[in-house]
Amino acid sequence: MSDNYTYSRPYGEAAFKLALEDNVIEQWSSNLKILAQVTVDKDIKAVIADPKISQAECSKLLCSFLDNSDDKNSFNFINLLLDNKRVFYLKEISDIFEDMKSNHNNVCKIKVETSRELGSDQINTLIELFKKKYNSEIEIEQTINEDLLAGIKVKVNDEVIDLSLQNRFNQIKQQLII
Amino acid sequence: MTINPTEISDIIKAKIKEYDIKSTAHNEGTVVSVSDGIAIVYGITDALQGEMLEFPNKTFGMALNLERDSVGAVILGDYKHISEGDIVKCTGRILEVPVGPELLGRVVNSLGEPIDNNGVINATATSPIEKIAPGVIERKSVDQPVQTGLKSVDAMVPIGRGQRELIIGDRQTGKTAVAIDAIINQKDTGVKCIYVAIGQKASSVAQVVRKLEEHDALKHTIIVAATASDSAAMQYIAPYSGCAMGEYFRDIGEDALIVYDDLTKQAWAYRQVSLLLKRPPGREAYPGDVFYLHSRLLERSARINEDAVSDLTNGKVKGKTGSLTALPVIETQAGDVSAFVPTNVISITDGQIFLESDLFNAGIRPAINAGLSVSRVGGAAQTKIIKKLGGGVRLALAQYRELAAFSQFASDLDDATKKQLDRGQRVTELMKQNQYSPLSVAEMALSLFAANEGYFDDVEINKVMPFEKAMHEFARSNHKDLLDMINESLDYNDDVSAKMKSTLDDFKTNGVW
């Protein structure tokens, strides 16, 4: 998984730069998402891996899923991936593209875990707080996890801020045992 | 119903008061793959080289490879319960082990956890296993001896406090025996000992523990054991853990002796870890930094001066120097000292004790090759009396070796040559010493004096050892004051030499052997 990201990064970055130059970021974004979904399909995988089917046919097949199937850059991109045998890394490439897109738009994605559903005013306060902290637009993804008991757990990239009751109980448990 | 000692109300009260509950922020990642004790972790972008990582179920690992999108970590201990997708947390700390006098007399693993069934260790202090060695300013030159109690070592390759003296030889040449004798001889000297067993059979370690117990030497010794059944990661870090425990004594102005038995196996363990982490192999498939692996470890054995001790103890200990003496052990294959790891460690250390299987099989034990064994700094630390008397022994042995080869061709030898050959044979015989029978400085001096003055010349070769034994016993019962005086002053002058002469004359006329 980690290796896949390393292999995919140059492709994702190149695609983003190209899209930025031509000012077609949204179009590339949706294309990559489609391709990422397509290439995980079992039958499509079988077709691409089949040695009897030529590369030209494969690229034609993949292009046919796109909205603008006659776009030269998209066509070349798919061919390049097929040449270098990196076509099954399209999911990671799409992920990297999306990361760069949100970076470019100055949007920070935050995953919030709580034991109960948050009210809209609570979400707004969180957004305000993190806007200050990260100095960017905030996009919140909420999940419910009843194991937390109460409080909140926030995850930004790899950084985790744990303000949950579960964490506090764990700390008490450790201190009492030692 | 049993009450836990931590359940006393005062303790509970104190604990409630000092509850320190923080909301925590940490770095998190997920396990991508686990194999052979190596975990590849995705995420934890802020991980540091050598940082402790927390895996589920209180298992810890050490980050060794920091790559673009992943971190390669070795898992310390069992890894069977860790699976793909598990959460890994950064701890922000370097691996630490408990240190202090509480560990003396205990057997611990590489993490400082007791493995001797004698209950928990209530050590208050901990220390990171990787530390930078003392710098130039903190150091002091070596000028005090570590007495190993072995005639051949103390007379010919003396070891000073803070020195690194390599013990090198093939398998079954008595390397461990030399090290264990040195530990036993530290019994009443105040020198604390650490024995680090790396990649050995658990039965061998148990035997060492038993022998030390038998000779009442366990109470000043810490045993760090990473046996052959422990993971390669544990074997790799064991010397560093032991060194941290030894450094504690060095830094509070005491003297400590550490034995790494042996560093060849540690290099093997490190090679395994490195290859599994996909680091490129070099000579003999060792990674590129195998020299640094040993140099950074042995550099931590040093003697530090009074100011450094005072600084390190915040002024609590003044006017004392601290030292950590290292006896690393290297096992050679068929006497090949030019292999990668032996040459490295020879060049790092301040001398070596070279043990040979030919000598061992010829019955010369300890099987020290006097010609190839050297001590680069120990001469400055040798006790005066041994230095004075040991010089003659070295010379006699060197001349003997030269003549012995030559005399095989000659049928008729002149008297002077014959005499030198006879003397050499007796000195070689005298250098033999049984295991677990260290000698005091005075006893050693008496033996060396007797050899120099020719008291052995009319003793049959196979009677040399019984003669020496009887001589020591005679001196202990009839001339105890002389032995005590030598042990006290460690000095050599005309008075001492006259007294030794009269003692030996007395023994020759009245003693029985």
- Minimal CA separation from A120 to chain B, in Å: 24
* Consecutive H or E run containing B415: helix B415-430
pLDDT band at B405; cut points 50, 70, 90: confident
Quick one: pLDDT band at residue A169, thresholds 50, 70, 90?
A: confident
* pLDDT (tens digit per residue) in B146-200: 999 999 999 999 999 999 999 999 999 999 999 999 999 999 999 999 999 999 9
B32 vs A contacts (CB less than 8 Å): 1-2
Using the predicted structure, report yes or no on whether residue A141 has a pLDDT greater than 70.
yes
What is the structure's pLDDT at B379?
87
pLDDT band at B410 (very low <50, low <70, confident <90, very high): low
Position B2 scores a pLDDT of 55
pLDDT at A2 over 70: no
* Mean pLDDT, residues B314-333: 96
Q: Answer yes or no: do B25 and A162 touch at CB < 8 A.
A: yes
ipTM metric: 0.72
Element (H, E) at A14: helix A2-22
Question: Which pLDDT does position B7 carry in this prediction?
Answer: 62
Which pLDDT value is given to residue A70?
73
Q: Which residues of B touch A168 (CB under 8 A)?
A: 21
Query: How many Å lie between the alpha carbon of A23 and the closest alpha carbon of chain B?
Result: 29
Answer whether B390's CB lies under 8 Å from B449's CB.
Answer: no
Contact A165, A173 (CB under 8 A): no
Question: pLDDT value at position B3?
Answer: 59
A3/chain B closest Cα distance in angstroms:
7
| Residue B175 CB contacts under 8 Å (≥ 6 apart), including other chains | B167, B168, B169, B261, B262, B329, B331, B355
Q: Are B260 and B266 in contact (CB under 8 A)?
A: yes
CB contact under 8 A, A162 and B26: yes
Q: Is B250 a known active-site residue?
A: no
Closest-CA distance of chain B to residue A5, Å: 7
CB contact under 8 A, B69 and A3: yes
Average pLDDT taken over every residue of chain A: 88
- pLDDT at position B21, please? 66
Do the chains contact at A172 and B70, CB–CB below 8 Å?
Answer: no
Catalytic residue, candidates B279, B296, B376, B394: B376
| Averaged pLDDT, B441-450 | 94
Q: How much is the pLDDT for B15?
A: 67
Q: Is A120 on the interface with B (CB under 8 A)?
A: no
Residue of B nearest to A157 (CA): B43
Weakest mean pLDDT among A67-76, A84-93, B32-41: A67-76
Upper half-sphere CA count for residue A118 (Cβ side, 13 Å): 21
- Tens-digit pLDDT profile for residues B454-485: 999 999 999 999 999 999 999 999 999 999 99
- The residue with greater pLDDT, B43 or B232, is B232
Q: Within an 8 Å CB–CB cutoff, is residue A40 touching chain B?
A: no
pLDDT, tens only, B388-398 = 999 878 888 88
Task: Dump pLDDT digits (tens) for A43-65.
Answer: 999 998 899 999 889 988 888 88
How many C-beta neighbours within 10 Å does residue B501 have?
14
Q: How wide is the angle at C-alpha B422 spanned by C-alphas B418 and B425, nearest 5°?
A: 140
Residues of B with CB under 8 A from a CB of A: 6, 15, 19-29, 32, 40-46, 67-70, 89
Looking at residue B354, its amino acid is F
The phi, psi pair for B439, rounded to 5°, reads -105, 150
- Residue A172 has its nearest CB partner, among B21, B28, B69, at B21
Are the CB atoms for A100 and A93 separated by under 8 Å? no
Query: What pLDDT, on a 0 to 100 scale, did the predictor assign at position A4?
Result: 83
Average pLDDT in chain B: 92
- Indicate whether B339 pLDDT > 90: yes
Closest CA to B510 of B462, B465, B463, B478: B478
